[in-house]
A and B are shown apart, each in its own frame.
Chain A
Amino acid sequence: MALSSLWRRAAGQAGIAKAVAMNLVGFATWIPVLALFNIYVAEVTFVDGASMYPFMNSDKDSTLRQDVVLNWKRAPQHDLERGMIVTLRSPVHPEVVAVKRIVALEGDVIRTRPPYPVSTVLVPSGHVWVEGDGPPGSSLDSNMYGPVSKRLLTGKITHVIYPFHKFGPIDWRDHRRALVE
C-alpha cells in the first residue's frame, strides 16, 4: 500500500502504537472505494421478512437465520424481464430497500390482487409492477402502492450465498403470473 514504507520508517522511530495506528488509517482509506463498490457494482445483503416466501427465507418457521444474497447493482433499470427478483426503494418508506419480483413491465396489462381498488392496470411508461411471492397479505407491494418508477430500482438479486443448500445463481424464470393479453 502507499503508506507501507512510511509505516516502516515510522515504526522504527515511534513504537508499535503509532505503527498500528498508521496501518489502521491505511485500511480506512479503502472505505470509500468499498462503499462505491457496494453502491454501483454489487452488495452482499440479508433478506428480511416473509414477503418472498418460499423463494427466500423458506426456513422462516424453523429458524431466525435470514437468507444472504448477492445484489447486483449495475444497470438496475436495464434488461428487466418478468420474473426477475429486484431490489427497490419502497415508495411508502423511503429509507427501506425492498426485495420483490417484477411481475409486469411497462405496457403490460396486469390483473391486480386485493387490496388494489382497480381490477386491471396498464403499467405506465417507465414503470414496473412488483409483487412479493408470499401468501396474500404478507407483502407490501404494487397491489398496495401501484406501479413503481424504474428509477426506484436499485439492483437485481442474482445469487444466493446462504443457506448453503441454495448456494448459487437463482432461477427466477420459474415463475408464472398470467397477464391480461
Chain B
Amino acid sequence: MAVSHLLTHPFRFTISTFKLLCALHLFQTHVFEVGPAQGPSMLPTFSIDGDWIAADKTHARNRRGALRVGDLVMYRIPVSPDAMGIKRLVGLPGDYVSIGTPGQGGQEYMIQSSILTEPKSQVPDGHCWIVGDNLPASRDSRAFGPVPLALVTGKVVARCLPFRDAGWFENGLQPVKNDS
C-alpha cells in the first residue's frame, strides 16, 4: 500500500528516496562498509588490485575497546588530505614497538619516549602503531609515527571479491598454551 502510494506522489517519492539514501550513508559510515582496496603494501594478504573488502565500522576510534594487535584496521592517512589506508595493528596505547624493520639497520630501536608517555618508550595514549604486511613497500607508522586512534575508521573483517578468495580474516595471533 505504501509503495503504490509513493509512486503516485513524485514529490513525496523524492523525499522518501532522499531519506533512504541518508540512512544508507549513515549505515555505511557507522556500521558496515564494502569497498575496493588497492596497493602493494599489504601483500600477500591483499592483492595489488581487484580485492573488495568488508569493514566493521563500529570499531572506529577503538570505541568498543575490542581492537587487538594483529587486526586489520582502516584509517585516514595522517599525511594525506583524503586518502584512506588499511594496515595491520601492531601496537595499542602502552605497547612497546620497534620503529625499525626486521633485517635492516635500526631494527633494534624502539619508539622514543614522548611527553605523553614519559618516562617510558611506549605507544602514547590515544594512539596506535600500524604496519603493512609487505614491509619493503609500505608507508606506515615506521614513516609517520603513531597514528591517533581518532583516525581509525573501522576493522577490516572479510574479503568479498574475488569470489574464490572470499572469506573472513582471522587474527593470526593466538595465545601460547602452557601445558605445565
Contacts and interface: CB of A to CB of B under 8 A. Distances in A.
Nearest to B29: A39
A32 B23 contact: yes
A77 B19 CA distance: 27
B110 to A, nearest CB: 18
Main secondary structure of the interface of A (DSSP, over half): loop
B22 A2 contact: no
Contact of A126 (B1, B2, B63, B80): B80
A126 B116 CA distance: 21
B115 A116 contact: yes
Nearest to A89: B150
B70 interface: no
Given A89-B148, A144-B115, A144-B116, A29 B79 contact: no
A151 B151 CA distance: 7
Given A93-B126, A116-B115, A152 B15 contact: no
A94 B149 contact: yes
Contacts of A93: 125-126
Given A115-B115, A152-B148, A152-B151, A90 B126 contact: yes
A24 interface: no
Contacts of B5: 2, 5-6
Interface residues of A, number: 34
Nearest to A148: B148
A35 B23 CA distance: 9
Contacts of B126: 90-94
Contact of A149 (B1, B79, B116, B149): B79
B120 interface: no
B81 A32 contact: no
B164 interface: no
A12 interface: no
A125 B152 CA distance: 20
Q: Most chain-B Cβ atoms within 10 A of its Cβ — which of A3, A92, A116? A: A92
A94 B61 CA distance: 6
B87 interface: no
Contact of B12 (A2, A33, A77, A151): A2
A1 interface: yes
B150 to A, nearest CB: 4
Given A6-B2, A149-B151, A33 B78 contact: no
Contacts of B26: 32, 35-36
B122 interface: no
Interface in A43-79: 77
A35 B24 CA distance: 12
B141 interface: no
A90 B116 CA distance: 13
Interface in A123-156: 124-127, 144-146, 148-152
Given A93-B126, A126-B81, A144-B115, A32 B148 contact: no
Shortest beta-carbon contacts, A-B, top 9: A89-B150, A149-B78, A2-B12, A94-B61, A94-B150, A32-B23, A92-B126, A91-B148, A32-B22
9 contacts: A1-B15, A6-B5, A30-B19, A33-B22, A36-B25, A91-B126, A94-B63, A116-B115, A149-B148
Interface of A: 1-3, 5-6, 29-30, 32-33, 35-36, 77, 89-95, 115-117, 124-127, 144-146, 148-152
